[in-house]
Chain A
Amino acid sequence: MNKDKLKKITGARLFLPIICLIAVLLINVIKTPDFFNISVRNGVLYGYIIDVINRASELVILAVGMTLVTAASGGQDISVGAVMAVAAAVCCQILSGGQASVTQYQNSIILAVVAALLAAALCGAFNGLLVARLHIQPMVATLILYTAGRGIAQLVTNGQITYIRVDSYKMAGGYIGKCPIPTPIFFAIATVVVVALILKKTALGLYVESVGINGKAARLVGLNSTMIKFLTYVICGVLAGIAGIVASSRIYSADANNIGLNLEMDAILAVALGGNFLGGGKFSLVGSVIGAYTIQALTTTLYAMNVKADQLPVYKAIVVIIIVTLQSEVFKKFIAGLKSKKASGAVAEGGQKA
């Protein structure tokens, strides 16, 4: 009975992603005993763990979009980092009215945000058009904006870094009033909740999975595969836009070269670490979110261990290899094989005795 229960727990989809996250956190506790310490300084929460959750926010938002795109189209959107930069550029450019640095909004913040999200949605629609309608491989299709996106952002800001030195603009990446919790965390939570609600309250989740598993069959049962794939890319674009605004608010500027740099790879990784198959089909949103926090925890850990920024990717890669191996089918089969060998050995011995 107990064994069955154990099997049920270890067999659950999210078991390994959660174990990976716990493992990374455990290493932290050993290496940095004060990892889970949370203190209040200057009226806001402080501590490694808060930092991890805060810094992971953009990644979480991207991972949500990436999960949908992956599930529906069996491919990834590698342009999300660049789309973040485009959204940030559009937002800041409208707020600054074309100047390099302002201390007052030149245009309405609502207009700026809406325009930024529209630009991001447009980028998503472009990707979606290429993938869903023209059947271009997602990697190739999104490579276009991956390379061109930052150029477009530079064009928007006339090649300068636009600073918005207005306190209210810093809120999205900082703190709202006296609230001690960093605002990006709210953005991440809101995104996950809203998308999860949409999936739950509409049939979108089922549609996305059906299209991702068997596009032909999905069409014959009356689903518009093209439209559904297109939609996931638009959603992914909009979410990248939100992440872009948060990232730009953190540095109260639009730095086209650095906002969201290399974040697309982390987002894809988050989806994979979450136990999602990158070839599409069934997906777990929660898995991807756990994956995103795992990656950020890892990054923060390495910083805490005084690993230099330029060496970081090497260590990250090693850990990722381990995690991905643990989750691979081949490895699971290998373990199952070891177990059954042990079991059959026992049976054989028993047989001889009888």
Chain B
Amino acid sequence: MEQNVVLEMRDISKNFTGVRALSHVDFTLRKGEIHALMGENGAGKSTLIKVLTGVHEFESGTIHMDGKTGEIVNHSPQEAQENGISTVYQEVNLCPNLTVAENLFIGREPRKLGMINWKEMNERSEKLLESLNIHVPPTQMLDECSVAIQQMIAIARAVDMKCQVLILDEPTSSLDDDEVEKLFVLMRRLRDEGVGIIFVTHFLEQVYAVCDRITVLRNGELVGEYETKDLPRVMLVAKMMGKDFDDLADIKSAHEGKKTPETTPVIEAEGIGHKGTIKPFNIKINKGEVIGLTGLLGSGRSELVRAIYGADKADSGKLKVNGKEVKINSPLDAMKLGMAYLPEDRKAEGIIADLSVRENIIIALQAKRGMFHPLSRKEMEEAADKYIDMLQIKTASRETPIKSLSGGNQQKVILGRWLLTNPEYLILDEPTRGIDIGTKTEIQKIVLDLADEGMAVTFISSEVEEMLRTCSRMAVLRDGEKVGELEESELSQSSIMKAIAGGDDKNE
């Protein structure tokens, strides 16, 4: 093994019931580096990580680690941890109902006479958190911490277990910029202490901000390993997609020509609000327009659309749909008025994990039709096939449980579910979070196409760039309140930033 190498995976192959997930992949991690593992959905990133951490077994190949003689094969994440490999996942898998300290020491609590030594546990936690510059009292309940802090606590736990290899699997997808920066500071520190960090992410900026090396996978095969400074962004994207880079920024201009200004309002909200989450707001959404909601995490973006859709029933104000005043008591009411809502949290509120792709696609239409008007098997299959085809959903078959699809494809299924109901007003809340760049662009294109066909769309995203590419108008939210709107002519990265941050008197 080379000097300085902490982890070496050679010639790793893995099949999933006939599908080749990894084919002769090599991966090398050096001491004190942050190494990005890049690839589109289904490229094999997660599989490689899972093979390494013992979640999956692999058919062939070897894994060597610094300081361990001979091959190592992990049979479980616990075993991997004992071997010095710790993983922090996108969805924090700590216990929300325990304290920070308990989460840090769960399974290895300091003991005295067989009893848990709470005092020592809290003291050690405090020291650990302090050393990593995480400011949170050890006795606080985990679910009272922000997602970013939870993420850092998961890392702190890994660090305290003396890991040589730290795997961060999409740790930033639910963090805002500030929180990401804090996470980066922590990552750089660990790197300087000699930990090898594998960083899996979809955000290109973050790769260039923090990573030393990049390994790219495509379709389960190794494309190559590169020094970050030698690989321009465009090249990276091209390598991930395996095709020439078509300029992503251009998708909107292609649509611009077709656009005819329409001012037929589909949704008119006056003073709609929900106590405790979103203050009463007015908003008008026209036919054929994509209106973006922007603001920091927790600024009320999701809450605003949830109040319109009836996911959280509005407790004040008036809502007009196509000029008629309506009362929405439940999501079903909203659906019957032609609304569709793709929720922010795909896993918790979007997919119905154990059901098949087919069932997940037809469920909304079925609910709309009512229990006594079931879709026939044939209708279901036709609908499922249509959207699998149209949205290019990668799935083994329409009967595959949705949980075994990759995140991006799950999201496409949810999108198909709503398109099947033929909505007039489509709400997309973070539709591209945790999704690879190719699928992201596809979804953005679909949104613009739908708007061209006359659908009213509300688009929520944390990525300003993406919003600029898709939206023709934006509403700005801050602290649970709609504070202003930006017309198309005013849309630019800086104007949005200013509006989000506040202090721009035009928006007050």
Q: Do A and B bind each other?
A: yes
Q: Residues on A close to B: CB < 8 A? A: 201-204, 206-207, 209-210, 213-214, 216-224, 281-282, 340, 347
Q: Tell which of A206, A207, A221 touches B417, judged by Cβ atoms closer than 8 Å.
A: A221
B341 within 8 A of A: yes
B134 within 8 A of A: no
* Residues in A neighbouring B354, C-beta threshold 8 A: 209, 213, 281-282
Q: A202-B371, A202-B372, A204-B371 are in contact. Are A217 and B332 (CB under 8 A)?
A: no
* Residues in A neighbouring B349, C-beta threshold 8 A: 214, 216-217, 220
Q: In the bound complex, do residue B374 and residue A221 qualify as a contact, i.e. CB atoms below 8 Å apart?
A: no
* Residues in A neighbouring B351, C-beta threshold 8 A: 214, 217
B52 to chain A, nearest CB (A): 17
A102 to chain B, nearest CB (A): 42
Q: In the bound complex, do residue B353 and residue A221 qualify as a contact, i.e. CB atoms below 8 Å apart?
A: no
The residue of chain A having its C-beta at the shortest distance from the C-beta of B375 within the complex is A203
* Residues in B neighbouring A214, C-beta threshold 8 A: 348-349, 351-353
A197 to chain B, nearest CB (A): 12
**Within B339-375, which residues are at the interface with A (CB < 8 Å)?**
341, 343, 348-355, 359, 363-364, 366-375
Q: In the bound complex, do residue B364 and residue A222 qualify as a contact, i.e. CB atoms below 8 Å apart?
A: yes
Q: Considering the chains assembled together, what is the distance between the CA atoms of A131 and B369 in angstroms?
A: 26
Q: A214-B352, A217-B350 are in contact. Are A206 and B341 (CB under 8 A)?
A: no
Q: In the bound complex, do residue A222 and residue B371 qualify as a contact, i.e. CB atoms below 8 Å apart?
A: no
Q: Considering the chains assembled together, what is the distance between the CA atoms of A347 and B59 in angstroms?
A: 9
B335 within 8 A of A: yes
B330 within 8 A of A: yes
Contact bitstring B229-243, A, C-beta under 8 A = 1, else 0: 000000000000000
Ordered by A's residue number, 16 sampled pairs between the chains whose C-beta atoms are within 8 Å are A203-B366, A203-B370, A203-B374, A206-B366, A209-B359, A214-B349, A216-B348, A218-B352, A220-B311, A221-B367, A222-B330, A222-B367, A224-B330, A282-B355, A340-B57, A347-B59
Q: Tell which of B332, B363, B368, B373 touches A206, judged by Cβ atoms closer than 8 Å.
A: B363
Q: Considering the chains assembled together, what is the distance between the CA atoms of A282 and B373 in angstroms?
A: 21
Q: Considering the chains assembled together, what is the distance between the CA atoms of A222 and B370 in angstroms?
A: 10
Q: In the bound complex, do residue A213 and residue B355 qualify as a contact, i.e. CB atoms below 8 Å apart?
A: yes
A65 to chain B, nearest CB (A): 18
Contact bitstring B166-209, A, C-beta under 8 A = 1, else 0: 00000000000000000000000000000000000000000000
B72 to chain A, nearest CB (A): 15
Q: In the bound complex, do residue B350 and residue A222 qualify as a contact, i.e. CB atoms below 8 Å apart?
A: no
Q: Considering the chains assembled together, what is the distance between the CA atoms of A201 and B332 in angstroms?
A: 22
Q: Considering the chains assembled together, what is the distance between the CA atoms of A210 and B417 in angstroms?
A: 14
B331 within 8 A of A: yes
Q: Tell which of B59, B352, B374 touches A217, judged by Cβ atoms closer than 8 Å.
A: B352
Q: In the bound complex, do residue B331 and residue A220 qualify as a contact, i.e. CB atoms below 8 Å apart?
A: yes
Q: Considering the chains assembled together, what is the distance between the CA atoms of A347 and B352 in angstroms?
A: 39
The residue of chain A having its C-beta at the shortest distance from the C-beta of B380 within the complex is A206
* Residues in B neighbouring A282, C-beta threshold 8 A: 354-355
A344 to chain B, nearest CB (A): 8
Q: A220-B341, A224-B330 are in contact. Are A213 and B371 (CB under 8 A)?
A: no
Q: Which 7 A-B pairs have the closest CB atoms?
A: A222-B367, A222-B332, A221-B364, A203-B374, A222-B335, A216-B349, A214-B352
Q: In the bound complex, do residue A202 and residue B374 qualify as a contact, i.e. CB atoms below 8 Å apart?
A: yes
Q: Considering the chains assembled together, what is the distance between the CA atoms of A216 and B343 in angstroms?
A: 10
Q: In the bound complex, do residue A213 and residue B353 qualify as a contact, i.e. CB atoms below 8 Å apart?
A: yes
Count class of interface residues, chain B: 20 to 34
B138 to chain A, nearest CB (A): 31
Q: In the bound complex, do residue A224 and residue B332 qualify as a contact, i.e. CB atoms below 8 Å apart?
A: yes
The residue of chain B having its C-beta at the shortest distance from the C-beta of A231 within the complex is B371
Q: Tell which of A203, A219, A221 touches B371, judged by Cβ atoms closer than 8 Å.
A: A203
Q: In the bound complex, do residue B374 and residue A223 qualify as a contact, i.e. CB atoms below 8 Å apart?
A: no
The residue of chain B having its C-beta at the shortest distance from the C-beta of A219 within the complex is B331
Q: In the bound complex, do residue B57 and residue A206 qualify as a contact, i.e. CB atoms below 8 Å apart?
A: no
Q: Considering the chains assembled together, what is the distance between the CA atoms of A347 and B58 in angstroms?
A: 12
Q: In the bound complex, do residue B343 and residue A201 qualify as a contact, i.e. CB atoms below 8 Å apart?
A: no
Q: Considering the chains assembled together, what is the distance between the CA atoms of A89 and B145 in angstroms?
A: 55
* Residues in A neighbouring B60, C-beta threshold 8 A: 347
Q: In the bound complex, do residue A207 and residue B371 qualify as a contact, i.e. CB atoms below 8 Å apart?
A: yes
Q: Considering the chains assembled together, what is the distance between the CA atoms of A102 and B203 in angstroms?
A: 81
* Residues in B neighbouring A224, C-beta threshold 8 A: 330, 332
By CB atoms of chain B within 10 A, which of A201, A202, A210, A340 has the most? A210
The residue of chain B having its C-beta at the shortest distance from the C-beta of A340 within the complex is B57
* Residues in B neighbouring A203, C-beta threshold 8 A: 366, 369-375
Q: Considering the chains assembled together, what is the distance between the CA atoms of A219 and B309 in angstroms?
A: 12
A226 to chain B, nearest CB (A): 10
By CB atoms of chain A within 10 A, which of B352, B368, B374 has the most? B352
Q: Considering the chains assembled together, what is the distance between the CA atoms of A347 and B13 in angstroms?
A: 14
* Residues in B neighbouring A340, C-beta threshold 8 A: 57
A184 to chain B, nearest CB (A): 31
By CB atoms of chain B within 10 A, which of A214, A217, A222 has the most? A222
Q: Considering the chains assembled together, what is the distance between the CA atoms of A217 and B375 in angstroms?
A: 20
**Within B236-290, which residues are at the interface with A (CB < 8 Å)?**
none
B84 to chain A, nearest CB (A): 24
The residue of chain B having its C-beta at the shortest distance from the C-beta of A280 within the complex is B354
Q: Considering the chains assembled together, what is the distance between the CA atoms of A224 and B331 in angstroms?
A: 9
* Residues in B neighbouring A201, C-beta threshold 8 A: 374
The residue of chain B having its C-beta at the shortest distance from the C-beta of A207 within the complex is B371
Q: Considering the chains assembled together, what is the distance between the CA atoms of A63 and B363 in angstroms?
A: 27
* Residues in B neighbouring A210, C-beta threshold 8 A: 352, 355, 359, 363
The residue of chain A having its C-beta at the shortest distance from the C-beta of B334 within the complex is A222
A255 to chain B, nearest CB (A): 38
* Residues in A neighbouring B368, C-beta threshold 8 A: 222
Please give 18 more A-B residue pairs, beta carbons under 8 A apart, in addition to A219-B311, A219-B331: A202-B371, A203-B366, A203-B369, A203-B374, A204-B371, A206-B366, A206-B374, A209-B354, A213-B355, A214-B352, A214-B353, A217-B349, A217-B351, A220-B341, A220-B350, A221-B367, A222-B332, A222-B368
Q: Considering the chains assembled together, what is the distance between the CA atoms of A218 and B266 in angstroms?
A: 26
Q: In the bound complex, do residue B353 and residue A223 qualify as a contact, i.e. CB atoms below 8 Å apart?
A: no
* Residues in A neighbouring B352, C-beta threshold 8 A: 209-210, 213-214, 217-218
Q: Considering the chains assembled together, what is the distance between the CA atoms of A321 and B411 in angstroms?
A: 41
Contact bitstring B369-395, A, C-beta under 8 A = 1, else 0: 111111100000000000000000000
Q: Considering the chains assembled together, what is the distance between the CA atoms of A201 and B371 in angstroms?
A: 9
The residue of chain B having its C-beta at the shortest distance from the C-beta of A204 within the complex is B371
* Residues in B neighbouring A281, C-beta threshold 8 A: 354
Q: Considering the chains assembled together, what is the distance between the CA atoms of A220 and B341 in angstroms?
A: 8
Q: Considering the chains assembled together, what is the distance between the CA atoms of A216 and B417 in angstroms?
A: 16
A211 to chain B, nearest CB (A): 9
Q: In the bound complex, do residue B359 and residue A206 qualify as a contact, i.e. CB atoms below 8 Å apart?
A: yes
Q: Considering the chains assembled together, what is the distance between the CA atoms of A282 and B360 in angstroms?
A: 13
A352 to chain B, nearest CB (A): 13
* Residues in B neighbouring A222, C-beta threshold 8 A: 330-332, 335, 364, 367-368
By CB atoms of chain B within 10 A, which of A214, A221, A281 has the most? A221
Q: Considering the chains assembled together, what is the distance between the CA atoms of A147 and B351 in angstroms?
A: 39
